Structure 1
Amino acid sequence: MAVGEDQEAMGRPDDIGLAARTLMRGAVQATLATLSRPGMEGGMEGWPSPSLVLVAFDLDASPLLLISRLAEHTRNLEADGRCGLLFDATAGHADRLTGPRLSVQGVAERTGDAMLLERFIARHPSSRAYAGFRDFALWRVTTKRGHMVAGFGRIHSLEPDLLRLPPADWQDLVPRHDDIVAHMNQDHADALALYATRLLDQPAGDWRLIGIDPDGCDLSTGSLTTRLPFITRIRDADMARAELMRLVARARNKG
């Protein structure tokens, strides 16, 4: 289910928040805007500086960045963690300005959380080659506000509680996350293939589950990554199992 379908009825704040998180969580890259640090050449201190970054997400939907201290944007964040991220889902629209996109403002901070680093690497496997370099570190962005254009004339401002899920919605999922992912990949490759091909209209391939969160799960094959939103928000392993079974039944019936 993509932004623009069932969840984009957009009548209630929860619907808007889900659509925004789905757009974010479906992204593999974003435009990062930082504030140019003091001492910047050309007197550009304080000016916005945009750059392209790879992104992953915490279970609560907070963006994760694995970035090098050699990059200007990292040096800017070290001086001032305030930043913006633009998530662009307009590909495929003849008029890109009618497509969905989301910009968020937040504060980026370094984190040494090993679980979050593994979430990033699972989404971007090639990053494992440099994740341990001394100049690289993982940063987590605490979102403070969002602005979403869901389509022509459908514009929404979002408060933090719509962009980030509270701990009660994900903390019971944390200790079982890796077990769920491993179980699905080892024992239910057929279900993963059905999710991708029948529910998401993706090509056939060696689809693997790379992450799960209360709103949905991420699948990948080769260099292709796609997002499967859940019908019902999950909070623990039992709810995850029920939702994954419900979705595979839907996929089989669709065939």
Structure 2
Amino acid sequence: MQPTDDFDPVRVAKSLLRRRREGALATLMRDGGAPYCSLVNVASAPDGSPLLLISRLAVHTQNLLTDPRVSLMLDERAPGDPLQGARIMLMGEAVAVAAAELPALRSRYLAAHSGAEAYIDFKDFSLFRIVTSGAHLVAGFGRIVDLAASDYLTDLAGAEALLEIEAAAVAHMNADHLITLNSYATRLLGGDEAEWRCTGVDPEGLDLQAGPSVLRLTFPERVKNPAELRHMLKRMADIARATS
């Protein structure tokens, strides 16, 4: 089945990766290989790869430590018939986050799931990244397409300087620019008035969250360093102020 002309599967896939905070994780039972599905909380790495904080006591963790092959389904949770909303099934392997990446990805996960602060340092809990090899996207009738990982993951090449200051940039925005963040959410993205906070920045956009609600501010151009980020955030703020 081919997608219709007004359907942008890459945009929909990237939006789901950045906005969903829970998903259905499928693993293979370590005894016999039967399918096993469980509900997990999800955050995203700077490139959009899903991040999971899971306990070795859980069946799904025991399964993937034996066989890392997994699939993860993220869905739109649209009102009405759930089959009318978009959903994406990611295929790949669950890999423990390397020590060098742990501080940055730990911060990203906690920004998305602040309640995990109470148990993230328990000895049985670890952060895993799903290294995806492809995805199957379904977004309604005539909107079904298979995607390569390069279609929906964010290219981080050349953006090392931006990634180095991401945590500081997020903290600064949340400390000093909450009014601007709220303006992004309400005037540019159609969100309700709320205490919107920034949970992550990457070359393609800014993630905003207020309670269970998550929005994605996509930049019109890619940014690679702190100077370009400052310019882009000011540009988006000017656009928001000009929007009634």
> With structure 1 as the length reference, what TM-score do the two structures score?
0.86
Indicate the residue corresponding to 1:5 in structure 2: none
The alignment partner of 1:173 has SS state of helix
Indicate the residue corresponding to 2:188 in structure 1: 199
CA contact (8 A) 1:60 1:170 kept: no
Shift of 1:77: 0.7
Report the Cα distance in structure 2 between the residues aligned to 1:149 and 1:238, rounded to whole angstroms.
38
1:210 matched to 2:199? The reply is yes
Aligned residues: 237
1:36 matched to 2:29? The reply is yes
The alignment partner of 1:74 has SS state of helix
Report the Cα distance in structure 2 between the residues aligned to 1:68 and 1:242, rounded to whole angstroms.
41
Report the Cα distance in structure 2 between the residues aligned to 1:91 and 1:164, rounded to whole angstroms.
23
Q: Residues 87, 223 of structure 1: CA spacing in aligned structure 2 closer, same or farther, 3 A cutoff? A: closer
1:253 matched to 2:229? The reply is no
Indicate the residue corresponding to 1:68 in structure 2: 55
Report the Cα distance in structure 1 between the residues aligned to 2:113 and 2:216, rounded to whole angstroms.
14
Shift of 1:58: 0.8
2:147 to 158, 162, 167: 158
Q: What amino acid does structure 2 have at the position aligned with 1:206?
A: E
Indicate the residue corresponding to 2:224 in structure 1: 235
Report the Cα distance in structure 2 between the residues aligned to 1:185 and 1:90, rounded to whole angstroms.
27
1:101 matched to 2:109? The reply is no
2:20 to 23, 27, 30: 27
Indicate the residue corresponding to 1:41 in structure 2: none
The alignment partner of 2:120 has SS state of coil
Q: Which ranges in structure 2 are unaligned for 5 or more consecutive residues?
A: none
Report the Cα distance in structure 2 between the residues aligned to 1:225 and 1:100, rounded to whole angstroms.
16
Residue identity (%): 41
Q: What amino acid does structure 2 have at the position aligned with 1:30?
A: G
CA offset digits 1:121-168 (Å, max 9, x no partner)? 111000010000011000011000101113321111111211323331
Shift of 1:169: 5.4
Report the Cα distance in structure 2 between the residues aligned to 1:114 and 1:162, rounded to whole angstroms.
27
CA offset digits 1:92-121 (Å, max 9, x no partner)? 2x3332321111101111113121111101
Report the Cα distance in structure 1 between the residues aligned to 2:214 and 2:24, rounded to whole angstroms.
18
Give the stretch that moved more between structures: 21-30 or 197-206: 197-206
The alignment partner of 1:196 has SS state of helix
Shift of 1:243: 2.3
Give the stretch that moved more between structures: 233-242 or 147-156: 233-242
Report the Cα distance in structure 1 between the residues aligned to 2:87 and 2:122, rounded to whole angstroms.
33
Report the Cα distance in structure 2 between the residues aligned to 1:57 and 1:87, rounded to whole angstroms.
12
The alignment partner of 1:167 has SS state of coil
Shift of 1:249: 1.9
Indicate the residue corresponding to 2:157 in structure 1: 168
Report the Cα distance in structure 1 between the residues aligned to 2:215 and 2:175, rounded to whole angstroms.
19
Shift of 1:188: 1.6
The alignment partner of 1:153 has SS state of coil
Q: Which ranges in structure 1 are unaligned for 5 or more consecutive residues?
A: 1-7, 39-44
Q: Residues 214, 246 of structure 1: CA spacing in aligned structure 2 closer, same or farther, 3 A cutoff? A: same
Runs of 4 or more above 6 Å deviation: none
1:16 to 9, 20, 28: 9
CA contact (8 A) 1:195 1:228 kept: yes
> With structure 2 as the length reference, what TM-score do the two structures score?
0.90
Report the Cα distance in structure 2 between the residues aligned to 1:234 and 1:95, rounded to whole angstroms.
38
